[in-house]
Amino acid sequence: MDGHAAATGRVAALLERRWRVLHAPRWLGPALLVAIGYYLAARLGLALTLKPYPISTLWPPNALLAGVLLLAPARAWWWLLAAALPAHLLAELQSGVPTVMVLGWYVSNCGEALIAAALVRVFVPEPLRLDSLRNAGIFLACAVLAAPLLSSFLDAALVRTIGSGQNSYWDLVHKRVFSNILAELTVAPLVLTWAALVTRRPAASLAHIVEALALFLGLLGVCMLVFDLPYLGTHISPAVYYLPLPFLIWAAVRHGPAGTTTALALMAVATIWGAVHGLGPFAARTPQETAHDMQLFLIAVSVPLLLLAVVLEERERAERESREQRRQLTHLSRVAMLGELSGGIAHELNQPLTAILSNAQAAQHFLANKTAEPEVLAEILHDIIEADQRAGDVIARLRALFKRGETRFETLEPNRLVEDALALTHGDLTTRGVELVLRLAPRLPEIRGDRVQLQQVVLNLVVNAAEAMAPCPQKDRLLTVQTLATKGRVHINVVDRGSGFNVPAERLFEAFYTTKPQGLGLGLSISKSIIKAHGGRLWATTRRGGGAAFLITLPSVP
Amino acid sequence: MSDVRANVTVVDDDPLVLRSLDRLLQSAGYAVETYSSALEFLRSCAFDAPGCVVMDLSLPYLNGLDLQQALGKIADARPVVFISGHGTVPNSVEAMKAGAVDFLTKPVDAEKLLGAVRAALSKDHAAREQRAGQAAVTSRLCTLTPREREVLAGVVVGKLNKQIAAELGTAEKTIKVHRARMMRKMEVGSLAELVRAWTVTQPPPAA
C-alpha cells in the first residue's frame, strides 16, 4: 500500500468514527415507535371513556407498554419507559388533570407494564411469543391477571392521596382492575402477535390476504350491526351477542393468533365506541354499569378465543415441524439408498468412460498407423459424444435425487418415471446378476406427483428386490417391473423371485423393521408414506412359487 | 507368430463399450469378433478357434465366470482376459484360479489391454503347439503293431533288448528288428527323443 492510500484509509476511518457519533443510535427507532404508539393509545383510551365516568373502559397505553417490554431485553426497559413519558405528558395534560396526578399515573402505568413484564420473564426468560399453551397461560396469569390487580392497588392509592376523593379506595381498585385487565387482554397480545408476524415474515398468498380482508370487513359489518345501532328501549335477544363469534372463530382457525387478536381488538373498539356514543345493547344503563358489562363481555369472549388461536397455532407448528422432519428423513433415506447403489452407479459411469477411453486410444492408433479413415474417425467421435452424454445423464439423475428440495407436484408419465428410476439401477442389477423384465403398458394415463419422491419409491423397491434374490442361483434372479392401468388408477408392480417374507405384510412397512444386517428399516415405511401423500397405496403380497410382489397404486389424472 | 491375423473375441453387453473395444483391438491389428452375451458367443461355432477372449465379468443370463467355466470344459478353449467395472477381490481370485490370463478393471488402458491380449494369444499359441505335438505322436503310436508297442513299452522303462526278448519269449535278434521298425515309425532318432515323445501322450499324474 502506498502512502497516499494509507492516508485515505485513515481519513475514511476517522470519518466513520465521527459518523457513528452523528448516526442515530440503535434504540432511537423503537423509542420513537413507543412514544408515538403510547400517544395514540392514550388518545384512543380517552376517546373510549364514558363521560362523566372518569375511567376509560379500555385503557391501552399500559398494555402497549407491557407488550413492548415483553418483547425487549430487560436492559432496554428503562429507556423504553422513558420514551413513553413525553407522549404521556402530551396526551394527559390536554385533559386538564393536575400535573402531579398526571405524573402519578405515568408511574402507575409504568408500574403495571413492569410488573407484567417482570413476572412473565420469571417463567419465560426470552422475549415472549404467544405460540404455545404454556406461554399463553403464563401471559394470562401474569400480565392479564396479576399485573392489573397489583398496579390497581397502587393506582387507586395514588388517586386517593393526590386527587379528587369522590370514590372510595376499593371502588377505585375495582373499576381500574377490569379496565386494565381488558386492556392487557386486548392490546398486549396484539403487540406480541404482530411483532412475531413481522419478524417471521410468512409468505402470504394473495388469496389469503383477500380472505383476511373479507373476514375483517364481515366482522366490522356485524359488529357495527350488533353494537353500533340505536337499540334504546327495545328488547335485545342475548343471541345477538353471539353474531360476531363465527368471524372470531374464522380468524382463530385460519389467520392465527395475529388475526385473532386483531379481530378481538376490532370488536372491542366497535363495542365501546357504540356505548360511548349511546348506541348498541350496552348503552341503556348507567356509565359504570355499561362499562362493567362491556368489560366482562369482552373479557369472556377474548380469553377462550385467544387460547383457541394459540392452541391451533401450536398444533400447526408441531405439524409443520414434523413435516419438515419427515422431509429430512425422506431425503436422508434417499441418500442412504444411493449409497447402497454407489457400486452400481460407479459401474454405470465406468461403462461410458471405458467407451470414451478405448475409442480415443483406437483413434490415436489409427492416426499413428496412418490407417485412419474419415468414416471410422467420425463414428468414433459420434460414440464418444454418445458415451459422454450417457455419463452426463447418470450424473443429472443422481443430482436430482441427492437434492433436498421442496415437494413439487407435477404431471408425470408413469412409464417414463419407472424407466428413469431403473436407469440408475442398471449397473447394480448387472453386478448382482439380476435379470430385469420390464412390462410397461402402452398409453398409460398420467399421474400427478413429486418426481424425485416417486422415483425414490421405485428405486427402493427395486433395490430391495435385487437384494432379496441374492441367495438364489443366477438363472432365478428375475425381477419384473410392470405398469398397468385400471379405471382411474395406475399400478406399478415390482415382483421378485426371492424367498418372499414370512411376517404379516404390514410389518414390512413399520419403521425400523428390517431384515438386512445393515438396514435402517426406514425405506419401506418412508415409501409407504410417500405413496400415501400422493393419494395412493403401497402394499405387499407373496408371489405364488416364491418371491414378493410390491404393488403401488396411484390415482391417475382424469 | 504366424502371418494370419490373430483372432480376438470380445463379449460385452454394452454396445457402446463393445464397439469401442472392437475398434481398439482392430487398431492394434487384430481380427475381432464381437458378441453381446455369453450365450450368443457359445452359439457361434468358432469358440474353439485359435485366438483369445476379452470379456466383461458381469454379463446377462450367464456371467463371465460361468462362461469361463463352460469354456474350461472344452479342450481347445481360448484363454480369457477379464475386464470388469467393479472387480472384487473374490471375483478376480476365482477368475485367475480358473485360468484367466488377466483381470483388468474398467476403464481399461489400451497399453494394459493389448499387453494382456498379447499374453493370452501367446498362451493360446503355445497350448495349441503342444496339443499339435501330442496329436502327432498319438497318430504315430497308432501305426505300431502290437509287438512293436510291447517293445516300446519295454524300451521306455529302460529295459535291455535281452530282457525284453526274455519277457516276450523271442530271440534278441527279433526284438532288435522290431525296435528299429518302431523307432522309424515313431520318427525318432534316439532313445531320449522316443521317451520325450512318449511322455507327452501320457496323462499327467493326478494331483
| Angstrom distance (rounded) from CA A157 to CA A477 | 91
pLDDT score of A368: 92
- Per the CB < 8 Å rule, is B24 touching A361? yes
- Per the CB < 8 Å rule, is B20 touching A383? yes
**Torsion angle (degrees, nearest 10) of CA A373, A379, A380, A381:** 110
pLDDT in tens, chain A (558 residues): 455 666 666 666 665 555 554 455 677 788 888 999 999 998 888 888 877 666 678 889 989 999 999 998 888 888 889 989 989 888 887 777 778 888 888 888 899 999 999 999 999 998 898 889 999 999 999 999 999 998 888 888 877 777 655 667 787 788 788 888 999 999 999 999 999 888 887 777 899 999 999 999 999 999 998 888 887 667 778 888 889 999 999 999 999 899 999 999 999 999 988 888 888 888 767 888 888 888 899 999 999 999 999 999 999 889 988 888 888 888 888 888 888 788 778 888 888 999 999 999 999 999 998 888 899 999 999 999 999 999 998 888 888 888 877 788 899 999 999 998 898 888 888 888 888 999 999 989 999 999 999 999 999 999 888 888 888 887 888 999 999 999 999 999 999 988 878 777 777 787 777 776 666 677 888 899 899 999 999 989 888 778 889 999 999 988
* Closest B-chain CA to A370: B27
- Per the CB < 8 Å rule, is B23 touching A380? yes
Instruction: Judge whether B62 is closer than 8 Å to chain A, CB to CB.
Output: yes
- Per the CB < 8 Å rule, is A365 touching B86? no
- Per the CB < 8 Å rule, is B110 touching A365? yes
| Angstrom distance (rounded) from CA A154 to CA B182 | 140
Q: How many CB pairs under 8 A join A and B?
A: 99
- Residue that is written with C-alpha cell 393526590 in the block: A162
Distant-in-sequence, close-in-space partners of B182: CB < 8 Å, separation ≥ 6: B144, B148, B149, B151, B152, B155
- Per the CB < 8 Å rule, is B110 touching A347? no
- Per the CB < 8 Å rule, is A354 touching B86? no
Distance from CA of A365 to the nearest CA of B (A): 6
Instruction: Kindly indicate the confidence band of residue B4, based on its pLDDT and cuts at 50, 70 and 90.
Output: low
What are residue A517's phi and psi, to 5 degrees? -60, -35
Distance from CA of A369 to the nearest CA of B (A): 8
* Closest B-chain CA to A436: B60
- Per the CB < 8 Å rule, is B106 touching A390? no
**3-class SS at A207?**
helix
Residue B140 contacts residue B198 (beta carbons within 8 Å): no
H or E element, residue B19: helix B15-27
Secondary structure (DSSP) of A83-103: HHHHHHHHHHHTTT--HHHHH
- Residue that is written with C-alpha cell 412475531 in the block: A196
pLDDT score of A1: 42
| Angstrom distance (rounded) from CA A154 to CA A173 | 9
- Give, in order, the Cα–Cα distances in Å from B54 to each of A260, A262, A324, B9, B177: 77, 80, 52, 6, 54
CATH fit for domain B143-201, picks 3.20.20.60, 2.115.10.20, 1.10.10.10, 1.10.3720.10: 1.10.10.10
- B26, B63, B86: residue with CB nearest A343: B86
Residue A187 contacts residue A64 (beta carbons within 8 Å): yes
Instruction: Judge whether A382 is closer than 8 Å to chain B, CB to CB.
Output: no
- Per the CB < 8 Å rule, is A358 touching B17? yes
Question: What 8-state DSSP symbol labels residue A503?
Answer: S
Sheet with A435-440: list strands edge to edge. Answer: A435-440, A478-486, A489-495, A548-555, A537-542
What are the residue ranges of helices labelled H in A72-204? 77-93, 99-123, 133-139, 147-162, 169-200
Distance from CA of B47 to the nearest CA of A (A): 23
* ipTM, interface predicted TM-score of the complex: 0.77
Given CATH 3.30.565.10, say whether it is the number of domain A408-558: yes
Using a CB-CB distance cutoff of 8 angstroms, which residues of chain A are in contact with residue B85? 346-347, 350-351, 354, 427, 431
Distance from CA of B85 to the nearest CA of A (A): 5
SS3 of A427-461: HHHHHCCCEEEEEECCCCCCEEEEHHHHHHHHHHH
pLDDT score of B2: 40
Of residues A351 and B96, more confidently modeled: A351
Instruction: Judge whether A160 is closer than 8 Å to chain B, CB to CB.
Output: no
- Per the CB < 8 Å rule, is B20 touching A351? no
The CATH 1.10.10.10 portion of chain B extends over 143-201
The CATH 3.40.50.2300 portion of chain B extends over 7-132
How confident is the model over B24-41, as a mean pLDDT? 90
- Per the CB < 8 Å rule, is A427 touching B85? yes
Distant-in-sequence, close-in-space partners of A87: CB < 8 Å, separation ≥ 6: A34, A35, A36, A38, A39, A42
- Per the CB < 8 Å rule, is B85 touching A361? no
Question: Cell for A138?
Answer: 403464563
Using a CB-CB distance cutoff of 8 angstroms, which residues of chain A are in contact with residue B63? 433, 474
* A495-514 per-position pLDDT tens digit: 998 887 877 777 778 777 77
Give the Cβ contact number of residue A443 at 10 Å. 6
* Closest A-chain CA to B84: A347
Question: What 8-state DSSP symbol labels residue A127?
Answer: P
How confident is the model over B140-164, as a mean pLDDT? 87
- Residue that is written with C-alpha cell 521317451 in the block: B195
Distant-in-sequence, close-in-space partners of A201: CB < 8 Å, separation ≥ 6: none
Q: Name the burial class of residue A194, with classes exposed (0-12), middle (13-18) and buried (19+) by CB atoms within 10 angstroms of its CB.
A: middle
Residue B102 contacts residue B118 (beta carbons within 8 Å): no
Chain B window 1-40: which residues touch A at a Cβ cutoff of 8 Å? 13-14, 16-17, 19-21, 23-24, 26-28
- Per the CB < 8 Å rule, is A352 touching B16? yes
**3-class SS at A140?**
helix
| Angstrom distance (rounded) from CA A180 to CA A149 | 8
pLDDT score of A429: 87
Q: Name the burial class of residue A431, with classes exposed (0-12), middle (13-18) and buried (19+) by CB atoms within 10 angstroms of its CB.
A: buried
Distant-in-sequence, close-in-space partners of A226: CB < 8 Å, separation ≥ 6: A240, A241, A243, A244, A280, A281
* A348-378 per-position pLDDT tens digit: 888 899 999 999 999 999 999 888 889 999 9
Distant-in-sequence, close-in-space partners of B61: CB < 8 Å, separation ≥ 6: A435, A474, A475, B37, B38, B39
Q: Name the burial class of residue A168, with classes exposed (0-12), middle (13-18) and buried (19+) by CB atoms within 10 angstroms of its CB.
A: exposed
Dihedral sign from CA coordinates of B59, B63, B69, B71: negative
Given CATH 3.40.50.2300, say whether it is the number of domain B7-132: yes
**3-class SS at A544?**
coil
Question: What 8-state DSSP symbol labels residue B48?
Answer: T
- Give, in order, the Cα–Cα distances in Å from A99 to each of A35, A92, A399: 19, 9, 73
- Give, in order, the Cα–Cα distances in Å from A131 to each of A197, A203, B92: 11, 18, 63
| Angstrom distance (rounded) from CA A305 to CA A242 | 13
Instruction: Judge whether A353 is closer than 8 Å to chain B, CB to CB.
Output: yes
Distance from CA of A333 to the nearest CA of B (A): 24
| Angstrom distance (rounded) from CA A203 to CA A206 | 10
- Per the CB < 8 Å rule, is A362 touching B19? no
Instruction: Kindly indicate the confidence band of residue B207, based on its pLDDT and cuts at 50, 70 and 90.
Output: very low
When computed from its CA atoms, the radius of gyration of chain A, rounded to whole angstroms, is 36
Question: Cell for B171?
Answer: 530271440
| Angstrom distance (rounded) from CA A83 to CA A151 | 20
Interior angle at CA B200, CA B199 and CA B201, nearest 5: 90
- A346, A357, A433: residue with CB nearest B63: A433
- A353, A363, A430: residue with CB nearest B58: A430
- B13, B24, B62: residue with CB nearest A358: B24
* Closest B-chain CA to A344: B86
| Angstrom distance (rounded) from CA A387 to CA A381 | 10
Distance from CA of A441 to the nearest CA of B (A): 24
Q: What is the pTM of this model?
A: 0.64
Give the Cβ contact number of residue B4 at 10 Å. 8
pLDDT score of B105: 86
- A352, A379, A474: residue with CB nearest B63: A474
- A351, A430, A435: residue with CB nearest B16: A351
Question: What 8-state DSSP symbol labels residue A49?
Answer: B
- Per the CB < 8 Å rule, is B24 touching A365? yes
Using a CB-CB distance cutoff of 8 angstroms, which residues of chain A are in contact with residue B81? none
- Per the CB < 8 Å rule, is B13 touching A430? yes
Instruction: Judge whether A479 is closer than 8 Å to chain B, CB to CB.
Output: no
Residue A468 contacts residue A494 (beta carbons within 8 Å): no
Number of alpha carbons in the 13 Å side-chain half-sphere of residue A66: 36
Which of A358, A431, A437 should be substituted to probe chain B, the one whose Cβ sees the most B Cβ atoms within 10 Å?
A358
Give the Cβ contact number of residue A370 at 10 Å. 6
- Per the CB < 8 Å rule, is B108 touching A354? yes
- Per the CB < 8 Å rule, is A346 touching B62? no
- B16, B19, B85: residue with CB nearest A347: B85
| Angstrom distance (rounded) from CA B102 to CA B113 | 9
Using a CB-CB distance cutoff of 8 angstroms, which residues of chain B are in contact with residue A362? 20, 23-24, 26-27, 110
* Closest B-chain CA to A478: B61
